[in-house]
Structure 1
Amino acid sequence: QLFNTVLNTADNKTILVPNGSLSTGIINNYSREARRRVDWTFGIGYGDDYDFAKATLAELLDADSRVMKDPAYFIALQSLGDSSVNIVVRAWVSTADYWSVYFDLNEKVYKVFTQKGINIPFPQMDVHLIPSPAPKKEA
């Protein structure tokens, strides 16, 4: 329109953007390209077998026909966190499949990791209580 641009979001919200802001601002278009990369980070326990977890993630990606073979998916040890060993997973999918693949893999990882004995830790802190010394008695 003359004074503003009307956008409809994926969750069916209408956004009115003044054309002045639109001409000087940044626009992120998530649907223009035919494919998108999905990124996940999955944490496993420090006592768990990283190679086994990585192989399990690869099996899940290989079994999903929506995950593109080219470019190939990527799995690596991302970081050693406070409560978990964090594994990054990146896979290319059709833009139309982005959210279904994202949510489906989250659910599959939760179920399969549990079945295979791979722990998904949660943030925790050890607290050590040190008793205070007994008060001195006066004579």
Structure 2
Amino acid sequence: MRRVVCPGSFDPVTNGHIDIIGRAARQYDEVIAAVLTNISKRGLFSPEDRVAMLREATEDYPNVRVQQFDGLLVDFCRENDIPGIIRSLRSVSDFDYELQIAQMNYQLAGVETLFMTANPQYSFLSSSLVKEVASYNGDVSTLVAPHVEQALRDRFAGD
């Protein structure tokens, strides 16, 4: 079985994330969308909320499984017998950053990283940008799934 992991904080999950996960799902038998718990960053949504939103956003892909993890991604890969990581590249600066991580992951555990270029429709898109626009009550309806848009509205309504 060909398996890969698509890791991220997914805070929140965007249409760009779903595009990459969906494209990976067409290429691999199983795709694990791994939600990172980063203790050095305070997220807008809890890890449990991010997992729930990502599960709903990927429900049309029967070979995608969503799982939460913390720690090193290569340890997650070893524990789950995952030989490859899918990462998206939006720009040259993404490549510079991602290449170092890919080389470290290979050095640490022999885990391969495969890069997918972002769909041009989403090449500008990031969770940070979505959160900023949503925080000012901007329209993010074309950037995230409807349930994510509602979660953002609910979150920022209290601010």
**Shorter-chain TM band:** under 0.3
* TM-score, scaled relative to structure 1: 0.25
Flag the structure with larger Rg.
1
Normalized per residue, the structure richer in strand is: 1
* TM-score, scaled relative to structure 2: 0.23
